[in-house]
Amino acid sequence: MTTMIRPGGTIGIFGNGQLGRMIALAAQPMGYRVHVFGPEAGSPAAQVADEETVARYDDRTAVERFARRCDVITLEFENIPVETVRWAEAITPVRPSSGVLEVTQHRVREKTLCVDLEIGVPSFASVDSLESLHDALRGVGLPAVLKTTTLGYDGKGQAKIATASDVPGAWSSIGAREGILESFVAFDKEVSVVAARGLDGSFTNWGLMENVHANHVLDTTVAPAAVDDQTADHAIEIARQILEHLDVVGVMCVEMFLGADGAILVNELAPRVHNSGHLTIEAAFTSQFEQHVRAICGVPPGATTMRPSAMANLLGDLWAGGEPQWDVALADGDVKLHLYGKSEARAGRKMGHLTALGATGAEALARVVAARGALRKA
Ligand code: AMP
């Protein structure tokens, strides 16, 4: 395979948070060097990387110097400016490409793509003024959610509209700018498909993940999701279609709502490794991070055979009463701890996660939730 980037080559990563850190930790055992690019020094990814560039994404000279030093570049954060990626792409391959980001950085483009592929999404409309928001509400109905079209994640930049009196507050809370109004879905479950597409078009995934959010932030993931095979197959087929259509190289996560009637509605596309795939580190023969490295380097995919497992996020709030009791939580030998190297434990900040294995997903979930509960001092 002539396009393969051989071990010894350098993988560049735009973004330097925990996702970059876990990509680096998967790349290094295979012999790759990792060079991270981001605006802050001493970041979670830089702590483990072989090399670090601290620069802003609009520093073209720094971006081009970085690109010349990398054999391939990837990203761990979907809001890297498209222009930055284009500067780098002119010098070295970036996977996923700027074309993928152009769609996934924009909620209306993302949903329009799904409509074009005949994939279900919540009903939606673009808005760009208070007047257009009122018009959109007539089509979408109540309750609804107003979101910014760009730069939103983990519930940031969104406001629920339950009654007409919420409209002015919602409009100002998203900054009175271009947005998307979506119907509020009374879903039965939230699920995701974390999937990888190789340079050769190979498609792999880890089955359906079942996710629970708290305050719009992922709280727990269980694998496999407790759904029938037909629903799981349908969700995976949706992900395959999207990755193929966008010509994604690397891992992408497709987040979905499942209706009580079995309907699947796509909520969001994340063109990167994803929090709901963290449990693949312990539960799968090949983790999402390793598969991502393989895909962007043109290495054939590894097996994704999974064991029942669950993940619980550790937010900064857990530190409110002092250092968590790691020894108590880890008394269960089927629980693993991941901490991301963040020095300041702010409320709501993702500091780490726990993963547990079990005979079933439900057993693993009970285990991981008990371990997380044991972290807090009584
Ligand atoms: P997002 O940033 O779009 O992924 O939204 C974060 C979380 O908010 C989702 O995982 C859901 O729990 C909730 N949410 C977002 N959009 C909707 C919607 N249209 N209907 C119901 N819940 C939603």
**What domains, with CATH codes, occur in the chain?**
10-94 (3.40.50.20), 123-183 (3.30.1490.20), 189-374 (3.30.470.20)
Q: Which residues pair with 309 in a beta bridge?
A: 223, 357
Residue 352: pLDDT above 90? yes
**CA quadruple 101, 102, 108, 109: dihedral positive or negative?**
negative
pLDDT per position as a tens digit, 66-122: 999 999 999 999 999 999 999 999 999 999 999 999 999 999 999 999 999 999 999
Ligand 1 pocket, mutate which of 145, 180, 275 (most atoms under 8 A from CB): 145
- Average predicted confidence (pLDDT) for the chain: 96
141: Cβ below 6 Å to ligand 1? no
Determine whether 234 is exposed, middle or buried from the number of CB atoms within 10 Å of its CB (0-12, 13-18, 19+): middle
Question: How many Å lie between the centroid of ligand 1 and the Cα of residue 370?
Answer: 26
Q: Phi-psi bin for 187: left (phi > 0), alpha (psi -120 to 50), beta?
A: beta
Average pLDDT over residues 213-223: 96
Give the confidence band of 260 by pLDDT, cuts at 50, 70, 90: confident
pLDDT band of 153, cuts 50, 70, 90? low
Q: What's the rounded mean pLDDT across residues 33-61?
A: 97
Interatomic CA distance for residues 300 and 294, integer angstroms: 6
Give the model's pLDDT for residue 43: 96
pLDDT at 154: 63
Judged against a pLDDT cut of 70, whether residue 123 lies above it is answered with yes
Strands 33-38 and 10-14 turn out to be parallel
pLDDT of residue 262: 85
Share of the chain above pLDDT 90, in %: 94
- Whether 354 has a pLDDT exceeding 60, the answer reads yes
Distances, alpha carbon 92 to alpha carbons 4, 28, 71, in Å: 14, 20, 6
Residue 49 neighbours by CB distance under 10 Å: 26
157 lines ligand 1 (CB under 6 A): no
pLDDT in the model for residue 1: 47
Q: What is the pTM of this model?
A: 0.96
What's the gap in Å between 216 CA and the centre of ligand 1?
Answer: 7
Contact present, 117 and 110 (Cβ < 8 Å): no
pLDDT digits (tens, 9 = 90+) for 292-327: 999 999 999 999 999 999 999 999 999 998 999 999
